[in-house]
Chain A
Amino acid sequence: MITLDSMPPRYPINGTFELTLRCNLHCKMCMFRRKDSENTILEHEELNTQQWIDMARQVANAGTINLLITGGEPMLRKDFCEIYRGIYEQGFIITLYTNATMITEKVMQTLREFPPHRIGITLYGANNDSYKKVCGVANGFDRAIEGIKQLRTLPSVIEYRMTLIKDNVEDLDAICHLIEGFGECVTNTLIVFSPVRGGCMPVQECRLSAEDSVNLSIGRTVSKIEEMIPDSLKDKVRIRVSEKSHECNTTEEKMTLLGCDAGMDSYTITFDGKLIGCQMLGVFYTDTIKEGFSVAWENYPFEVHLPDEPEECVKCEYKNLCKVCPAVRMAECGSLNGVPKYICDFSKAMKKGVEG
């Protein structure tokens, strides 16, 4: 039996600093967003400027190289520029996630001097009406486009992402067109998880059904491939979607804590200084403020207590296509051994898509 004593060395290579849970937008499908009435208390619990800079020093000493700075919306913090600069100066490969609607001249001055290696921009629609429906703000699209124009002047690599829900699915082509105009493409998120860690948004009401998501994804992939086939060959080629097994060519046993790299070579520091393996899963944590980062990292595995996988999953015929993990079980079922119907529906729709 594998025990914690036989655990291979763990290095905290990939870190996430969640500077705040607060956000200027109110996206219906946000996993993390709390009620506005909680903002005062959330702000009060956030690590302060010096604590974040000190945390950056500690994680650099412990060996972190890739650092994601995220939120909420990190630029909502009044001290964003000071924190960002203090983190940057420690020397990391920095990725910054933002909704691009809060790019002030002060932010741009800081980013010009200390450009992130990557910027991940989340888009919510192709016009102000969609932003109003999805994020509850009137001129969100205009502000995001203005922000993007400025961020594109930086030497950073920019990635665009869009989470598709009922209110913005019609915008997908327009968004792709817009971003392709910048010579880039958009990554779509189709699986939208229920709120975690006290989040309050009505995710389940606004997300697409598993079947619609899968059909959309397969349909778009197939038509993209079709576009690449010359007309002369179109009637000779038949595109087939095939199943990629999770079990393919893995002969070695890899030790994990949560079934992935979380807690093994990656971690998140929450807005209030807790160390968690994955930003989605808050039930297992250590306290970096009491213990310091290195001890908190060393102790994290001892906090992880997972129940056995449910019988239904052990025997499941869709297992190879299934994206379930403890964080997803917790988000969807509120327990670590629940069987999330939304994810089962996804797996079944995938199987149908592959066979059909």
Chain B
Amino acid sequence: MNFSDKLFRAKSGFIHRKVANEDVLISVGSGIANFNGYILLNPTASFLWDMLKEPRSIQELGEAVAEEFEVSLAEAKADVTEFIHMLSDKGMVEEE
């Protein structure tokens, strides 16, 4: 799938919280039929999930990660693409 020209947004059905200094995403509502539990987020994933409250492109997310975590744009975009793939596989993001 070519992700580069698409916009993504986090689906509802998850609550983003801190638990014992860790960021977690808790599945809630009818979505628990597909995924009943929670996911631990590392700092980059947590940052991205918050950005995904609004529709975002890979380019936009990559630039934000590169700036926030002081990594190269290429590296950031590769990480973002991988993360979006994972979210997409689990049905946690929707395309705008």
- The answer to the question of A156 belonging to the interface, with a C-beta cut-off of 8 Å to chain B, is yes
Identify B20's interface contact among A13, A93, A155, CB under 8 A: A13
Are A65 and B24 in contact, CB atoms less than 8 angstroms apart? yes
Closest to A92 in B: B26
With A65-B24, A93-B38 already in contact, the answer to whether A117 and B29 are too (CB < 8 A) is no
With A65-B19, A93-B38 already in contact, the answer to whether A115 and B32 are too (CB < 8 A) is yes
Docked complex Cα distance between A156 and B29 (Å): 10
Docked complex Cα distance between A91 and B37 (Å): 11
Docked complex Cα distance between A93 and B19 (Å): 12
Q: Chain B residues near A155 (CB, 8 Å)?
A: 30, 32-33, 36
Q: Chain B residues near A64 (CB, 8 Å)?
A: 19
- The answer to the question of B28 belonging to the interface, with a C-beta cut-off of 8 Å to chain A, is yes
- The answer to the question of A302 belonging to the interface, with a C-beta cut-off of 8 Å to chain B, is no
Are A115 and B29 in contact, CB atoms less than 8 angstroms apart? yes
- The answer to the question of B17 belonging to the interface, with a C-beta cut-off of 8 Å to chain A, is yes
Docked complex Cα distance between A88 and B13 (Å): 12
Are A115 and B30 in contact, CB atoms less than 8 angstroms apart? yes
Interface size class of B (residues with CB under 8 A): 10 to 19
Q: Chain A residues near B29 (CB, 8 Å)?
A: 113-115
Docked complex Cα distance between A197 and B21 (Å): 35
With A65-B26, A115-B32 already in contact, the answer to whether A60 and B17 are too (CB < 8 A) is yes
Contact residues of A between 87 and 104, Cβ < 8 Å to B: 88, 90-93
Contact residues of A between 239 and 287, Cβ < 8 Å to B: none
Are B33 and A63 in contact, CB atoms less than 8 angstroms apart? no
Q: Chain B residues near A222 (CB, 8 Å)?
A: none
Closest to A12 in B: B20
- The answer to the question of B15 belonging to the interface, with a C-beta cut-off of 8 Å to chain A, is yes
Docked complex Cα distance between A155 and B16 (Å): 21
Are B36 and A65 in contact, CB atoms less than 8 angstroms apart? no
- The answer to the question of A178 belonging to the interface, with a C-beta cut-off of 8 Å to chain B, is no
Contact with A along B1-45 (1 / 0, CB 8 A): 000000000000001111111001011111011001110000000
- Given A114-B28, A115-B30, A117-B32, 10 more A-B residue pairs with CB atoms under 8 Å apart are A64-B19, A65-B19, A91-B15, A91-B28, A93-B26, A112-B30, A113-B29, A117-B27, A155-B30, A156-B32
- Give B residues with C-beta under 8 Å from A: 15-21, 24, 26-30, 32-33, 36-38
Query: Could you jot down 7 A-B contacts, CB within 8 Å?
Result: A11-B20, A60-B17, A63-B20, A65-B26, A91-B15, A91-B28, A117-B36
